[in-house]
Amino acid sequence: MKTQLIGIDIDGTLVDDHNQVSTANKDAIKRAKQAGIKVVLCTGRPLKAISHVLEACDLTDAGDYAITYNGGLIQATDTGEIIQHIVLSQDDVVSLYNLSKTLDMPISLVGMEDVKVFQNHHDRPCLYYTINKWLSHHPFQFDDYTGQQVVNKMVIARPEAEIEEALKKIPEHYFEQFFIVKSRPNLLEFMPKTVNKGAALKLLGQQLGIVPEAMMGIGDMDNDLTMIEIVGKGVVMGQAPDYMKDVADYITKSNNESGVAHAIEQWALNML
Residue 84 sits at φ, ψ, to 5 deg, of -155, 140
Would you state the pLDDT for residue 251? Answer: 98
Look at residue 203 and tell me whether its pLDDT is greater than 80. yes
Q: What is the dihedral of CA 167, 172, 174, 178, to 10 degrees?
A: 90
The per-residue pLDDT of the chain, averaged, comes to 95
Alpha carbon of 257 to those of 12, 26, 228, 261, 263: distances in Å?
11, 13, 20, 9, 11
For the question of whether the overall pTM of this predicted structure is more than 0.85, the answer is yes
Percent of the chain with pLDDT over 90: 88
Of the ranges 10-19, 26-35, 111-120, 249-258, which one carries the lowest mean pLDDT score?
Answer: 111-120
A 10 A CB-CB count for 212 gives: 18
Mean pLDDT of 174-195: 95
Sheet holding 82-85, edge to edge: 82-85, 73-76, 65-68, 38-42, 5-8, 215-219, 233-236, 250-251
Mean pLDDT of 152-176: 96
Q: How sure is the predictor about 22, in pLDDT bands with cuts at 50, 70 and 90?
A: very high
Sequential DSSP letters for 207-228: HHT--GGGEEEEE-SGGGHHHH
Residue 12 DSSP label: I
Look at residue 148 and tell me whether its pLDDT is greater than 90. no
Would you state the pLDDT for residue 119? Answer: 77
Q: How sure is the predictor about 48, in pLDDT bands with cuts at 50, 70 and 90?
A: confident
Amino acid at 53: V
The 8 Å CB, 24+ separation contacts for 13-21 are 13/218, 13/219, 13/220, 13/224, 13/237, 13/255, 13/259, 13/260, 14/41, 14/53, 14/57, 14/218, 14/255, 14/260, 15/53, 15/255, 16/255, 16/256, 17/255, 17/256, 21/53, 21/56, 21/57
Residue 56 DSSP label: H
Supply the residues annotated as catalytic: 9
User: What is the C-alpha to C-alpha distance for residues 115 and 271, in angstroms, rounded to an integer?
Assistant: 43
Would you state the pLDDT for residue 120? Answer: 74
Would you state the pLDDT for residue 129? Answer: 92
Alpha carbon of 272 to those of 57, 120, 262: distances in Å?
21, 55, 15
A 10 A CB-CB count for 147 gives: 10
Would you state the pLDDT for residue 115? Answer: 94
Look at residue 180 and tell me whether its pLDDT is greater than 90. yes
Would you state the pLDDT for residue 250? Answer: 98
Would you state the pLDDT for residue 147? Answer: 87
Which residue in 18, 20, 11, 4 sits closest to 57, CA to CA?
20
pLDDT tens, residue by residue, 100-138:
999 999 999 999 889 999 877 778 899 999 998 888 999
> What is the distance of C-alpha 270 from the center of its chain?
27
Would you state the pLDDT for residue 123? Answer: 81
pLDDT tens, residue by residue, 206-253:
999 999 999 999 999 999 999 999 999 999 999 999 999 999 999 999
Would you state the pLDDT for residue 142? Answer: 87
